[in-house]
Structure 1
């Protein structure tokens, strides 16, 4: 039986990846920061088979202990402070967790595996936010990185450190440069979930408006459940490498609003949306769209859920959640 260790098991990607690996017969361990973590109950409900280990990406000894407990064949480093807006409020912590935390996980894996480093495969969750002020459209693996947030900068550090460990130590370390991927499990602080949750509440008469930032920002949105399959496929390859994981299509926040409100029969959505300067980024990333050709050709991966299906799935889930809550 293969064993896997997932950091960031409490996030949407960690939950979907845990489900995928369990379905493939893995013994799965999840690293959790803090025994009072508010998301512990969610993990235990969705992934009762996962063995939880308490540790911290900023604490190298705790990572070594986690590796010794899990003894994994595959390590998936998904742990990060991943809310971009927050990274301006606390750039130091974002750098420590998202950037240096990835280094700590790489180093802990190298030290723990020792002479058996060839037996362990490592996945780093890189991000399209690394492209920032985009230098070409669409963005591919060779596109110059120009991050526009502390989060993006921290992800660039983690990305290049992963490449460095691959080249310096021969480590089977791959990075997935994932473009925006969403699901009903997305945190409500993220704009997609903020919108679908608001649409659900508005359709049920529980609120009137939602305040947003830049409605013209464009993103390449996919379904998180599809994207975790790409993570797994990377670690099944003979050679480690970096891959852009994206749909290759882009939509604006306005288009997202049209689909979400349209799904509940509201066509004049503008009257329910206000713009608030507080939600504008200090340095905006205007157009992100990935070229997934390499992943398609090498991994045989392509997304199954399209944009409209994704948004409708999230709205339906939030309507059900709001109905359950209001009972």
Structure 2
């Protein structure tokens, strides 16, 4: 049984990952930046700001993890433009604080750092599925801070801390913030159906294509990667988590609109148009497939239906 410390455990992915890891029999220690508003699927819940070096080291000493998943971050791209200092501090300095706490208190803990496909940035303009060796050219403060954090992790890996970096592509599902595109669609549809929003759905760039995954498939990839130390042998230090099958956002919206029996008009909202948008972002999952056998198993239509059902419940409540 692994003792797994999960930072950012009360976030969208963290809550789901805690539940999955607990269900398969691991001892889950949830680390949150503030007191969680709901019960987490964890054996222990600890609270600490990852920018507080003393408190963070005490938490790691208390948890004594064999494995760590580092999810805690500022993850919203528009927010990273509005609050770049907070993004850099949280995503880079917070990561270094964790690494140093692990070096001092749990030097053998296997750490999985959740970076982002956003680090590839301008390289997506090639229009091909990018591999982990592709050039990273970030186009926003969030992506740049994640790439800087990757550099910190690679340095600690070089000095002996075991672990890997993952670059997940767009993962979606219930409980995701409506700041993200599919959740925004679902929330607006639910509000329109309930009569709480006029029948006009506001959108950004619908022509862009993205590599969408169900959040449960992403978490399944993390679970498999956490088993790497037990498998023995050499393994890559960086893995894309993706489907390799980009979908146009317009098509995603059409599928969701077809799930509603209300007539809805779609209109572009200048506030939602990203200045650094790229036409197509997709990746190659060959490395993780070769290493663990992982591949996504959830039908995207099922994910979208689940997402819409979740937001209908939220709006009704």
Q: TM-score, normalised by structure 2?
A: 0.92
Partner of 1:192: 182
Would the alpha carbon gap of residues 285 and 110 (structure 1) be closer, same or farther in structure 2, given more than 3 Å must change? farther
Gaps of 5+ in 2: none
* Secondary structure of the structure 1 residue equivalent to 2:62: helix
Partner of 2:223: 232
Residues of 1 paired with 2:152 and 2:248: CA distance? 32
* Secondary structure of the structure 1 residue equivalent to 2:267: strand
Residues of 1 paired with 2:62 and 2:53: CA distance? 14
Residues of 1 paired with 2:81 and 2:93: CA distance? 17
Alpha carbons 2:186, 2:307 under 8 Å: kept: yes
- 1:142 is the counterpart of 2:133: yes
Partner of 1:18: 18
Alpha carbons 2:175, 2:310 under 8 Å: kept: no
Of residues 278-287 and 299-308 in structure 1, the stretch that sits farther from structure 2 once superposed is 278-287
Specify which of 119, 134, 138 is matched with residue 130 of structure 1: 119
Of residues 190-199 and 130-139 in structure 1, the stretch that sits farther from structure 2 once superposed is 130-139
Partner of 1:252: 248
Q: Which runs of 4+ in 1 moved over 3 A?
A: none
After the TM superposition, which residues 1-327 of structure 1 pair with which residues of structure 2 at under 5 Å, given as runs?
Answer: 1-35=1-35, 40-42=36-38, 44=39, 46-47=40-41, 49-113=42-106, 117=107, 119-135=108-124, 136=126, 137-167=128-158, 169-207=159-197, 208-237=199-228, 238=232, 239=234, 241-265=237-261, 269=264, 271=265, 273-323=266-316, 325=317
Residues of 2 paired with 1:319 and 1:74: CA distance? 37
* Secondary structure of the structure 2 residue equivalent to 1:41: coil
Residues of 1 paired with 2:163 and 2:16: CA distance? 21
How big is each residue's C-alpha offset from its partner over 1:282-314, in whole Å with a ceiling of 9 and x where there is no partner?
322332111111111211101111222211111
Aligned length: 309
Residues of 1 paired with 2:43 and 2:172: CA distance? 23
User: What is the CA RMSD across the aligned residues, in angstroms?
Assistant: 1.6
Residues of 2 paired with 1:195 and 1:97: CA distance? 29
Residues of 1 paired with 2:130 and 2:302: CA distance? 24
Gaps of 5+ in 1: none
Alpha carbons 1:148, 1:285 under 8 Å: kept: no
How far did 1:194 drift?
A: 0.8
Residues of 2 paired with 1:192 and 1:99: CA distance? 28
* Secondary structure of the structure 1 residue equivalent to 2:88: helix
Alpha carbons 1:134, 1:288 under 8 Å: kept: no
How far did 1:275 drift?
A: 1.4
Residues of 1 paired with 2:208 and 2:58: CA distance? 43
How far did 1:202 drift?
A: 2.0
Would the alpha carbon gap of residues 63 and 285 (structure 1) be closer, same or farther in structure 2, given more than 3 Å must change? farther
Residues of 1 paired with 2:299 and 2:290: CA distance? 20
* Secondary structure of the structure 1 residue equivalent to 2:115: strand
Residues of 2 paired with 1:255 and 1:90: CA distance? 32
How far did 1:2 drift?
A: 2.3
* Secondary structure of the structure 1 residue equivalent to 2:29: strand
Residues of 1 paired with 2:260 and 2:289: CA distance? 34
